[in-house]
Amino acid sequence: MKAGNKQKRVLLVMSSVDEMGISGKQTGTWFTELAAPYYILTEAGFEVVFATPAGGAAPIDLLSMKAPFTTEHTQRFFNDPVAMFAATHTRKLREIDHSTFDAVFFPGGYGLLWDLASDSHVVKLIREFYESDRPVAMVCHAPAILRDVKLTDGRYLVDGLRLTGFKNDEDTEIELLHHLLFSLEDELKRRGAVYVGNTNWEANVVVDGALMTGQSPASAPPLADALRDVLASAA
């Protein structure tokens, strides 16, 4: 890890998209996947900076703001004026010098399939974090962003790596698979990833070197815990 900060810094990158293509279905970042890492990492003494491609307000999936999907972290975040201000005033990703960060965290949600997954700047950012051995943590649908990431030698980053992410079965269960641009599970397997799935909706975290992935919303807290521990041990 080469950022060399006294206080570890984590760049938390969210989607700027609030609609699933032409379906008319509202989307955005899944709330607990933003809130859990924010508190787990800041309470460990790390600086967390929110960024989106467009800057400004990060769209939050409305469903994730309602029971039964709310959590202790989302309730706390919603009532925290500092956290809410940060989420509605995110930095523009391209204006940030990501070389000054020790790790990057990507929450899930469907919006990112329409912007982050095809953003050349994001693809380059992930490669640079990974190749400098700075953790790349991704939960739920966020590992879909790895689809087009290649290493400097031209190989797909995921080729031969163990990882996880939201399962086809989980998308099918909530009747959304047919609305998506592509299947995370299928595309990453196609690029040589060793996909490690667990029971639907259960916490599942897979770490392979600098790549740290979580399967579903329940995986956000343990994934953030794992990232916290890696950063703390590198102090």
pLDDT in tens, the chain (235 residues): 567 788 999 999 999 999 877 667 789 999 999 999 999 999 999 999 999 999 999 999 998 999 999 999 999 999 999 999 999 999 999 999 999 999 999 999 989 999 999 999 999 999 999 999 999 999 999 999 999 999 999 999 999 999 999 987 766 665 555 556 678 899 999 999 999 999 988 999 999 999 999 999 999 999 999 999 999 998 6
- Given this model, what pLDDT does residue 6 score? 85
- Given this model, what pLDDT does residue 167 score? 87
CA nearest 95: which of 130, 54, 136?
54
- Given this model, what pLDDT does residue 235 score? 66
- Given this model, what pLDDT does residue 174 score? 59
Could you please report the per-residue DSSP string of 94-109?
A: GGS-GGG-SEEEE---
- Given this model, what pLDDT does residue 175 score? 55
Cα–Cα separations (whole angstroms), residue 207 to 83, 137, 163, 175 = 28, 9, 7, 29
Task: Give every CB contact of residue 193 below 8 A, 6+ residues apart in sequence.
Answer: 146, 158, 159, 160, 161, 162, 163
Task: Give every CB contact of residue 182 below 8 A, 6+ residues apart in sequence.
Answer: 113, 117, 144, 147
- Given this model, what pLDDT does residue 201 score? 83
In whole angstroms, what is the distance from residue 153 CA to residue 34 CA?
Answer: 33
Question: Cis ω on the peptide bond leading into residue 68 (within 30° of 0)?
Answer: yes
The pTM of the full predicted model, rounded to 2 decimals, is: 0.95
- Given this model, what pLDDT does residue 90 score? 98
- How far is CA 132 from its chain centroid? 19
DSSP H or E stretch at residue 210: none
